């Protein structure tokens, strides 16, 4: 009897979906299967599968994932239509079971309504203003000097450098110092190995959350089968471990200290520990993982194109000389370095698919009916490799941005690494400044070569919210500047 009822309900659902699609002028797309829709067309890397489908059906593609209608945007014109012309209508987020379990939607990334507006105001006035970013540049500089000391040690010892691990520690320290005035690694850390181990475990759990969040959660697409969801258990375990680490952060705050961002947030949002931890987690993930990933991709591309390393180093020397490192005031003069960064964003955006948008009402866009509760994905990976937009789109050619006014701030829809509109990344100024300073100083301070085992490694990707390289980059380095440039760094080597 039970299975007869289930079969009847499924049959009714299929009929309802078929009837609904017949009455609407939906964007083009392939024929789906009963119940699962188009899940069978998504491969190991969905952004590539969707790119191939868009080549066949056009830049506005309609699919169905279980019970969820989906539209995929793969051109600058369509991205502008949804993220600018219809920005307000699609400024919502679809249901995500992992996000619900770990943060209950209490983050800037996934919150809605008045709470989302409060979080945006808090971060734009207290964290990401031009003044704050300029003040935080000193933190970036300090952590870069710490990284440079580590690289000098590795160089003197003839060691191969694990680029990813160094970049992840660098960006994590930057964010924890900005948010809570605390370093977990390096000279300014407590020196307690147990605390450093907790921080490393927390960073591993961030990677776990990003992996789990990108995994298939049956609850999101088949709510009536939520009892079969295997991802939920992993999300609960990861969320519990993260809460433990962040609770210690909240407990460490002391009255009478100069208020850090945690204390400012507490005074604004109240002393709701769960909400505070959700916001901290959101900022730590967004502020550390994306910047380190972009920097790793840039160095990997440059190692495959050493002529651009030479061009960048020559430009930096002409601006900075050989006796000091790169400072914030130098960045605007480094056209080649900024072109390299833009080209890296084009080929390897930190998020190949922008975080999903959603509509809470039916709309008509570009002449097509977009049903209520439709999920919207913007495939920035596909836009960045579109031959109708870019010449030689698969080639690493930074020269395409030299002399160009195209930026990454969401106004040029050919290049959207930080998104656009109401749901664009608030941390753009800080994230961009971090990548600029990190890449320019690493190129200026050191010569870079492949390790013996790295040169033939394919530059593939892994599935996840963040566009990680499949193989963590390793390289050999050696100092390239005059002794004066390293004098401050070497004081701590002795």
- 336-366 residue pLDDT tens: 999 999 999 999 999 999 999 999 899 999 9
Residue that wins the pLDDT comparison between 313 and 197? 313
Q: How confident is the model at residue 214 (pLDDT cuts 50, 70, 90)?
A: confident
| 127-175 pLDDT, tens digit each | 888 888 888 888 999 999 889 988 988 888 888 999 999 999 999 999 9
Q: What is the pTM for the complete model shown?
A: 0.92
For 361, half-sphere exposure in the C-beta direction (CA atoms, 13 angstrom radius) is: 5
Query: What pLDDT score was predicted for residue 494?
Result: 41
Angle between helices 113-126 and 261-269 (to 10 degrees): 150
Cα separation of 487 and 491, whole Å?
Answer: 6
What residues form DSSP beta bridges with 447?
478
**pLDDT tens readout for residues 455-483:** 667 788 887 788 999 889 999 999 998 87
Q: In this structure, how many other beta carbons lie within 10 angstroms of the beta carbon of residue 77?
A: 13
Domains and CATH numbers, the chain: 2-491 (1.10.630.10)
Which pair of tokens denotes residue 487? 């004098």
Reading the block at residue 46, the tokens are 């969905």
Rounded Cα distance between 181 and 260, Å, is 7
Confidence of residue 9 (pLDDT cuts 50, 70, 90): low
Token pair recorded at residue 134: 């300029």
The beta-strand segments (E) located in 240-380 are: 357-358, 363-365, 368-370, 375-378
What is 28-47 written as a DSSP string? P-PPPBTTTBTGGG--SSHH
The answer for residues whose C-beta is within 8 angstroms of residue 349's C-beta and 6 or more apart is 380, 381, 384, 416, 417, 467
400 close to 343: Cβ distance less than 8 angstroms: yes
Q: E-assigned strands of 334-450?
A: 357-358, 363-365, 368-370, 375-378, 446-450
Is it the case that residue 1 has pLDDT exceeding 60?
Answer: no
Convert the pLDDT of each residue in 186-209 to its tens digit: 777 777 788 888 888 888 888 888
- Do the strands 375-378 and 68-73 form a parallel or antiparallel pair, or are they unpaired? parallel
Buried b (16+ CB within 10 A) or exposed e, 352-376: bbbbbbbbeeebebeeebbbeebbb
Burial string for 452-487 (b: 16+ CB within 10 Å, else e) reads eebeebebebebbbbbbbeebbbbbbebebeeebbe
pLDDT digit string (tens) for 278-303? 999 999 988 888 999 999 999 999 99
Q: How far apart are CA 37 and CA 359, in angstroms?
A: 20
Report whether 460 contacts 348 (CB < 8 A): no
**In the block, which residue shows the tokens 């690494």?**
417
* DSSP count for the chain of H helices, then E strands: 18, 9
Contacts of 235 (CB under 8 A, 6+ apart): 97, 98, 101, 102, 209, 212, 213
Q: Average model confidence (pLDDT) for the chain? A: 88
């Amino acid at each position: 009897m039970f299975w007869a009822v289930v079969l009847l309900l499924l049959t009714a659902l299929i009929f309802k979906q078929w009837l609904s699609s017949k009455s609407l002028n939906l964007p083009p797309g392939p024929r789906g299967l009963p119940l699962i829709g188009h899940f069978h067309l998504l491969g190991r890397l969905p952004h590539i599968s969707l790119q191939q489908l868009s080549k066949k059906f056009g830049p506005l593609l309609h699919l169905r994932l279980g019970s969820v209608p989906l539209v995929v945007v793969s051109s600058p014109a369509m991205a502008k239509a949804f993220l600018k012309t219809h920005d307000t209508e699609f400024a919502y987020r679809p249901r995500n079971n992992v996000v619900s379990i770990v943060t209950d939607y209490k983050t800037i990334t996934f919150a809605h309504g008045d709470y989302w507006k409060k979080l945006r105001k808090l971060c734009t006035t207290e964290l990401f203003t031009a003044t704050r970013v300029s003040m935080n540049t000193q933190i970036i500089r300090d952590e870069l000097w710490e990284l440079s000391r580590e690289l000098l040690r590795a160089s003197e010892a003839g060691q191969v450098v694990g680029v990813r691990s160094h970049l992840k520690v660098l960006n994590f320290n930057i964010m924890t110092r900005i948010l809570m005035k605390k370093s977990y690694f390096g000279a300014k850390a407590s020196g307690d190995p147990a605390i450093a181990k907790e921080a490393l475990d927390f960073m591993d759990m961030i990677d776990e959350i990003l992996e789990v969040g990108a995994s298939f959660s049956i609850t999101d697409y088949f709510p009536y089968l939520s009892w079969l969801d295997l991802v939920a258990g992993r999300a609960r375990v990861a969320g519990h471990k993260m809460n433990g680490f962040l609770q210690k952060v909240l407990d460490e705050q002391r009255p009478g200290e100069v208020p850090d961002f945690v204390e400012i947030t507490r005074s604004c949002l109240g002393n709701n520990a769960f909400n505070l931890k959700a916001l901290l987690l959101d900022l730590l993930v967004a502020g550390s993982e994306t910047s380190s990933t972009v920097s790793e991709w840039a160095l990997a591309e440059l190692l495959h194109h050493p002529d651009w390393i030479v061009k960048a180093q020559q430009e930096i020397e002409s601006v900075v000389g050989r006796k000091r490192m790169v400072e914030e005031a130098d960045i605007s003069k480094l056209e080649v370095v900024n072109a390299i960064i833009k080209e890296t964003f084009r080929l390897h955006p930190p998020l190949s698919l922008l975080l999903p948008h959603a509509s809470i009402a039916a709309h008509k866009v570009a002449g097509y009916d977009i049903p209520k509760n439709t999920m919207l994905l913007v495939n920035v990976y596909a836009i960045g490799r579109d031959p109708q937009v870019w010449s030689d789109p698969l080639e690493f050619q930074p020269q395409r941005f030299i002399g160009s006014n195209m930026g990454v701030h969401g106004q040029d829809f050919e290049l959207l690494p930080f998104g656009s509109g109401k749901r664009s990344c608030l941390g753009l100024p800080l994230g961009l400044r971090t990548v600029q300073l990190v890449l320019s100083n690493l190129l200026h301070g050191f010569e870079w070569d492949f390790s013996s085992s790295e040169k033939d490694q394919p530059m593939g990707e892994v599935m996840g919210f963040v566009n990680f390289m499949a193989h963590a980059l390793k390289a050999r380095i050696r100092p390239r500047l005059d002794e004066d440039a390293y004098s401050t760094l070497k004081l701590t080597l002795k």
